[in-house]
Amino acid sequence: MFWKKVFLWGGVAFLIYFVAFRPDGAAQVCRSVGGGLMAMAQGMGDFLTGLTT
């Protein structure tokens, strides 16, 4: 349980540092993650459409 808190707070601190000192890099990471999520949603939609036709 202790290590979970350590890693959680370390991740939060890294995220704040990354956004504060590398905003362009942080924006690119968000765009990449968003694009990946959109691709997965599109694939799931195509799969479900294929099942119903």
Average pLDDT over residues 2-6: 94
Domain that holds residue 25: 1-52
Q: Show the tokens assigned to 45.
A: 């939609």
> Looking at the predicted structure, is the pLDDT value of residue 8 above 90?
yes
CA dist., res. 23 & res. 35, Å (int): 18
- Cα-based distances in Å from 18 to 9, 22, 24, 32, 40: 14, 5, 10, 16, 26
Please report the pLDDT score of residue 51 as a whole number. 94
Domain count, the chain: 1
pTM given for the model: 0.66
Q: Binning pLDDT at 50, 70 and 90, where does residue 1 land? A: confident
In degrees, rounded to 5, the angle at the alpha carbon of residue 32 between the alpha carbons of residues 18 and 10 is: 30
